[in-house]
């Protein structure tokens, strides 16, 4: 049973079906616009619309003999967790720690209680508390980050240089709906941590946290917009940074009560060591599982399915192998205007390491300056894979040269 089978959650149904396992969709809500292309109701034996009656949905899942309940994407995490606890308690996470698997403030607090270092932060709806916290932590005049505790991607993430204007940025989002239609009833204020961002993707069963891949992100500041996605690269398991990241990620998963299912742990590796950015109790989004399968021969989706097949469950390894160097290049719009020469990206098809192209840029399309993950995905991305890592990075630079040639004609308020 998959709750909100959108984004990478779309891959659960075909994988379950191939294994001969019936699959049902539970919708906590209709898909938002960015997810509509990944919603395939025809893939499911039944579609259940949740209307607030948890007991009714749980009863139907019991009638159907549900063997597990998993979330497809962020919007489905809380409902999936509650249904799993009610229907498949042997394949469920610790119910009392549900908030720590969805709310960024709660997950940081749980991680700190477990004795793991975290980024200095406070989650509150009171500007006076933030003011006192900044003074107490000696962060006056330092860079800060403000973001909603229950958003996803880079939605609402704002960097505050020198801490100037933090109050205005805090109040601008407090009490508003974020991009996922979740009320920002509190805001998270953090010290600005510097380092390199990594992701440890896992699949847990019986409380054992297996690693499906470790990837390194590069992000850039695109004008005033912080942390715009640039690349994501799969790391070899023998890369020197991997063991420490995996150890920290497993500690985080224990701290937030993860016992079964896919998780996506984002970590900043600072000079002082790893620090949690956030953990998401669902598969890595944006189609990553199918690219992970190409890079490593396995994925979070595949391991979830195998865990339900007794003869196959022993084939869930603790770690992973890298079969080929793989890099996702996220397209970036550095100015605003109407696209006049989208054909500059035609050269992507000729790249030696091209594995997959999802270029969404079209002539006549109006683009803004890329500022968050949803806008990044609306532009598209290119996946490069090759046995020669240098070939991959040469092709990355070729994509950026194509991007530099893109002509955006300013119109209306886009004009300087």
- List CB contacts of 338: < 8 A, sequence separation 6 or more: 364, 365, 366, 367, 408, 409, 411
Q: Is residue 110 in a domain?
A: no
Residue 167 backbone phi and psi in degrees, to 5: -60, -45
The last residue of a domain, from among 138, 167, 191: 191
* Residue 65 within any structural domain of the chain: yes
Report yes or no on 28 lying in a domain. yes
Phi and psi based region of residue 285 (left: phi greater than 0; alpha: psi -120 to 50; beta: remaining):
beta
Looking at the structure, tell me whether residues 297 and 216 fall in a common domain: yes
- CATH number where 126 lies: 3.30.1490.20
Q: Mind listing the pLDDT tens digit of every residue in the chain (416 residues)?
A: 999 999 999 999 999 999 999 999 999 988 888 789 999 999 999 999 999 999 999 999 999 999 999 999 999 999 999 999 999 999 999 999 999 999 999 999 999 999 999 999 999 999 999 999 999 999 999 999 999 988 776 677 888 999 999 999 999 999 888 776 788 889 999 999 999 999 999 999 999 999 999 999 998 876 666 678 899 999 999 999 999 999 999 999 999 999 999 999 999 999 999 999 999 999 999 889 999 999 999 999 999 999 999 877 668 999 999 999 999 999 999 889 999 999 999 999 999 999 999 999 999 999 888 887 777 777 899 999 999 999 999 999 999 999 999 999 998 666 55
Taking the mean position of all CA atoms in its chain, how far away is CA 168?
27
Nearest CA to 278 out of 268, 288, 289, 292 is that of: 268
In this structure, are 346 and 384 located in the same domain? yes
Nearest-angstrom CA–CA distance, 409 and 340:
7
Identify whether the C-beta of residue 78 lies closer than 8 Å to the C-beta of residue 97: no
Helix axes 127-136, 166-173, angle to 10 degrees: 140
| Token output for 96 | 């009392």
Are both 234 and 354 inside the same structural domain? yes
Pair 164, 206 in one domain: no
Q: Which of 191, 211, 238 is the last residue of a domain?
A: 191
pLDDT score, position 154: 66
Q: Cα dihedral angle (69, 70, 74, 76), rounded to 10 degrees?
A: -20
Same domain, 172 and 208: no
Number of domains in the chain: 3
Q: What is the CATH number of the domain that holds 12?
A: 3.40.50.720
Q: Which of 159, 191, 223 is the last residue of a domain?
A: 191
- Give a yes or no: residue 259 inside a domain: yes
Residue 191 CA to residue 130 CA, distance in Å, equals: 12
In a domain, 392, yes or no: yes
Distance of alpha carbon 114 from alpha carbon 108, whole angstroms? 10
Residues 71 and 161 in one domain: no
Same domain as 249, residue 231 = yes
The total number of residues shown for the chain amounts to: 416
Its domain, for residue 150, covers: 120-191
Whether residue 384 sits in one domain with residue 310: yes
Q: Is residue 416 part of a domain?
A: no
pLDDT score recorded for residue 259: 98
13, 88: one domain: yes
Residue 415: what pLDDT? Answer: 57
Our measurement of the distance from residue 334's CA atom to the centroid of its chain's CA atoms, rounded to an integer in Å, reads 23
pLDDT at 34: 78
- Statement to judge: residues 232 and 319 lie in one domain: yes
Same domain, 70 and 173: no
The residues with which 174 forms a beta bridge, in sequence order, are none
pTM of the model: 0.91
Q: What is the CATH number of the domain that holds 332?
A: 3.30.470.20
Pair of tokens at residue 298: 């396995």
């Amino acid at each position: 049973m998959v709750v909100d089978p959108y984004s990478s959650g779309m891959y659960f149904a075909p994988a379950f079906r191939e294994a001969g396992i019936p699959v049902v969709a539970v919708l906590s809500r209709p898909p938002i616009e960015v997810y509509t292309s990944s919603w395939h109701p025809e893939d499911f034996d039944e579609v259940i619309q949740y209307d607030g009656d948890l007991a009714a949905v749980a009863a139907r899942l019991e009638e159907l003999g549900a063997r597990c309940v998993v979330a497809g994407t962020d919007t489905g995490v809380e409902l999936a967790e509650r249904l799993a606890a009610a229907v498949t308690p042997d394949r469920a996470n610790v119910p009392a720690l549900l908030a720590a698997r969805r709310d960024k403030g709660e997950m940081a607090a749980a991680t700190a209680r477990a004795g793991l270092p975290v980024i200095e932060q406070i989650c509150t709806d009171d500007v006076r508390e933030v003011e006192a916290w900044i003074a107490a932590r000696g962060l006056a005049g330092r860079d800060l980050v403000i973001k909603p505790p229950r958003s996803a991607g880079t939605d609402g993430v704002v960097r505050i240089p020198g801490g100037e204007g933090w109050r205005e940025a805090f109040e601008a989002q407090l009490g508003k709906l974020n991009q996922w239609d979740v009320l920002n009833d509190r805001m998270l204020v953090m010290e600005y941590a510097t380092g390199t961002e990594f992701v440890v993707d896992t699949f847990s069963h019986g409380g054992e946290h297996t690693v499906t891949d470790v990837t390194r992100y590069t992000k850039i500041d695109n004008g005033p917009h912080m942390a715009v996605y640039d690349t994501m690269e799969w790391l070899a398991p023998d890369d020197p940074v991997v063991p420490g990241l995996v150890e920290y990620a497993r500690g985080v998963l224990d701290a937030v009560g993860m016992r079964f299912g896919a998780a996506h742990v984002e970590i900043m590796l600072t000079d002082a060591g790893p620090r949690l950015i956030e953990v998401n109790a669902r598969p890595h989004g944006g189609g990553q599982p199918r690219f992970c399968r190409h890079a490593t021969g396995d994925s979070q989706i595949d391991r979830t399915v195998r865990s339900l097949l007794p003869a196959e469950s022993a084939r869930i390894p603790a770690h992973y192998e890298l079969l080929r160097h793989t890099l996702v290049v996220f397209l970036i719009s550095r100015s605003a205007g109407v696209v006049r020469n989208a054909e500059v990206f035609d050269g992507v098809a000729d790249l030696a390491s091209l594995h997959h192209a999802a270029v969404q840029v079209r002539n006549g399309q109006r683009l803004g300056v890329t500022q968050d993950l949803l806008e990044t995905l609306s532009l598209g991305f290119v996946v490069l894979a090759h046995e020669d890592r240098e070939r991959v990075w040469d092709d990355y630079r070729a994509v950026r040269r194509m991007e530099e040639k893109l002509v955006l004609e300013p119109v209306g308020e886009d004009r300087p």
